[in-house]
Structure 1
Amino acid sequence: MYFKENISVIILFLIMNSFIVLVGLVDSGIPNVSIIYLVLFNLLILVIYLAWDFNRKRTFSKEFDGLKTLNDMEGINKPHVNAQKQVYEKLDELRTYHQTLLEEEAGKTKENLDELTRFIHDMKMPVTTMKLMIDDLEGTDHDKLASEWTRLNNMLNEVLYLQRLPNIKNDLYIERLNINDLVKRSILKLRSICIRKNIGFDVNFQTDYIYSDKKWLQFVIDQILANCVKYSSDNDIVIVGIMEDEHFKLSVTDFGRGIKEKDIDNIFQAGFTSTSDHDDDQSTGMGLYLSKEVCDILNIKLTAQSEYQEYTTMTLSFNKANNFSNITMK
């Protein structure tokens, strides 16, 4: 590559020395030895120049080839060659401009998120009022409205927790929790929907206590149970908590529509709903994504097993009790 860049210098050297040899052949008065010495001297000068020039350009070229992002420009030594200086200055100018755009977009994003958070909190008040009004109703109307209220409240919570997720490490408090109580609390929130869809719960725990963050773990359990209830009807949801190899495992199994094999690897991706059930307007594609993100931060392994049209099992595998302090912060 370097020799290709300097081909003009090499060609000029060849032309110049060819001219010297030609003069020596035409003028017999010039000794051949002098011609040879002159050509060799020119060759030495060329080699010295190319070595010096290569050394000047090598450091910058090597660092330039290692660039992956414009921000990496900060770690590059400023070049001494004019052409490289121009490239460096232009890239640095682009980096500064790009950084300015990113900061502007980050500011706009923060403003939008703050506005969204305010909107959700403002929505919480009328939603709470709606719940009180619905509780005063009786019969079928109460069950239907309570079911829709639960869906609305869950969607608002999804958006609220999505906004909080980037700062989750500032909002963690690890403590000893009664996992059975958290599950019961989640079931209670879904009571209206479960009554309307004739869904029951079969709950069995070998142990009740684990270490985790109460608020975020409650959110994960809420999302998993809400997802199970959403796609079930006229069946029990089986919830089992067991100790296995000194690890606590919580599994939730529903016998609803299940997940197709080709979809199982994508269900934890943001916005993914289904490759076939596109007419399903119940799914936002965010619940399981948020649950997986939270579990990764809480050092909980979230996995899924399913047979389409048969069952789906979501499993939370917790760390050993004495390892709860080793939570990875993102």
Structure 2
Amino acid sequence: MIRNFLTERVSWILLFAALQVFGLFIAYIDAAIPFGPILYISFLSFLLFVVFLCFRYFKETRFYRSLEDWESSLDLSEVAEPVSPFETIVERSITEQTALLKAELSENRIHLEEEKDDLLSWIHEVKTPLTAMQLMIGRVENESLKAHLNQEWLRIHLLLDQQLHQKRLTVIENDLYIEQVNLESIVFTEIKTVQSWCIQKGIGFDIQLDITDVLSDAKWLSFIIRQLLTNAIKYSDASDIQIRSYSQDGQTFLDIVDQGRGIDPKDLPRIFDKGFTSTTNHRELASTGIGLYLAKKAAAPLLIKIDVESQIGQGTTVTLSFPKQNEFVNLQGM
């Protein structure tokens, strides 16, 4: 800031220096003017000028230092009051622009909320014909056709469910209800949901739940497990998916282990990034890169940690680490 101040005032500083040099030059060439007193006056003038510069620096830069420290938010309370006409012009311009941005932001938020409400309403409306379609599929006699229809119905159902929860994630804190939930019930319900898909791919389940009750939100925990199961099924062939829960040092863990194609080690740090699919099978169209991202986002407010271990061709192990009871003190619903 000092350098900026001096750069801004360099013309005035040079003018003062030129005037002092000019006075000394006149005293030097004019014998009638005593050089010593003029030199003394110039020295005193220089000291006064330095003091003046220091005073003006702290006074004139206070406003601009507050702008420099301003976090570019729409809160102008952090900006110092202007003390000069030029600072007033700057402050008025910033205030007007901020008011316009606030109005635009408010309008955009309203539009986004309306779009979200419309989408949620549409998703709920679509569920009605989907339910009717499921009943109609159940009456199809051709088992091969019935299996294919069930699989496509399930894909639509899971995609709609994913969109529904993605829109609700922005206000998940308002939707949480932490309680003792039955892990076994949730796991078996989610397996039943994807049963037709598993039958078609020849995938079975090996379930061993030593811990059946965990402290969490039933709806969002179901969503997380659903994303992890669909991911495991999608990238597995005929094999068993192991699901086991256990306790270590008073903390509950849930493992979902598949024997699928695995994940390249260089992809592991990015699998929870939105839109990331794979560098190994980059042209694969079935993957959307959204399931694990949503699972991670939903797990954060529940204080659930998701860890993934995998190797190419050796399957993938996803571990959910549930928080201890005293870690939920700050969560709503307790």
The TM-score normalised by the length of structure 2 is: 0.92
CA distance 1:22–1:179, change in 2 (3 Å): same
1:9 is aligned, of 8, 12, 35, to: 12
1:170-219 superposed Cα distances (whole Å, 9 cap, x missing partner): 11111111101110000000111111111110000112111111111111
CA distance 1:328–1:292, change in 2 (3 Å): farther
Quick one: distance in 1 between partners of 2:46 and 2:55? 14
Alignment of 1:175-254 (within 5 A): 175-254=179-258
CA distance 1:81–1:226, change in 2 (3 Å): same
Quick one: distance in 1 between partners of 2:330 and 2:248? 20
Does residue 137 of structure 1 match 2:140? yes
Give 1:11 shift.
1.2
Alignment of 1:109-128 (within 5 A): 109-128=112-131
Quick one: distance in 2 between partners of 1:296 and 1:214? 15
Alignment of 1:39-50 (within 5 A): 39-50=42-53
Moved over 6 A (4+): none
1:263 is aligned, of 257, 267, 288, to: 267
Quick one: distance in 2 between partners of 1:5 and 1:169? 50
> Which SS does the other structure have where 1:90 is aligned?
helix
1:154 equivalent in structure 2: 158
Count matched residues. 329
Name stretches of at least 5 consecutive residues in structure 1 with no aligned partner.
none
> Which SS does the other structure have where 1:240 is aligned?
strand
Does residue 316 of structure 1 match 2:316? no
Give 1:270 shift.
1.3
Give 1:315 shift.
0.8
| Contact 1:299 1:318 survives alignment (8 Å) | yes
Which amino acid counterpart does residue 127 of structure 2 have in structure 1?
Answer: K
Quick one: distance in 1 between partners of 2:329 and 2:29? 90
1:68 equivalent in structure 2: 71
1:273-315 superposed Cα distances (whole Å, 9 cap, x missing partner): 1123233222221111111111111001111111112201111
Give 1:254 shift.
0.9
Which amino acid counterpart does residue 276 of structure 1 have in structure 2?
Answer: T
> Which SS does the other structure have where 2:242 is aligned?
strand
> Which SS does the other structure have where 2:125 is aligned?
helix
CA distance 1:254–1:92, change in 2 (3 Å): same
Aligned-pair Cα RMSD in Å: 2.0
Quick one: distance in 2 between partners of 1:94 and 1:328? 38
280-289 or 238-247, which deviates more: 280-289
Give 1:250 shift.
0.4
Quick one: distance in 1 between partners of 2:6 and 2:231? 64
Give 1:27 shift.
3.1
Quick one: distance in 2 between partners of 1:77 and 1:67? 10
Which amino acid counterpart does residue 317 of structure 1 have in structure 2?
Answer: S
> Which SS does the other structure have where 1:315 is aligned?
strand
1:296 is aligned, of 289, 296, 300, to: 300
Give 1:49 shift.
2.4
| Contact 1:298 1:328 survives alignment (8 Å) | no
CA distance 1:321–1:68, change in 2 (3 Å): closer
Percent of pairs with identical residues = 35
Give 1:246 shift.
1.1
Give 1:70 shift.
4.4
Give 1:322 shift.
4.4
2:170 equivalent in structure 1: 166
Does residue 97 of structure 1 match 2:93? no
2:80 equivalent in structure 1: 77
Give 1:95 shift.
2.7
Quick one: distance in 2 between partners of 1:28 and 1:157? 98
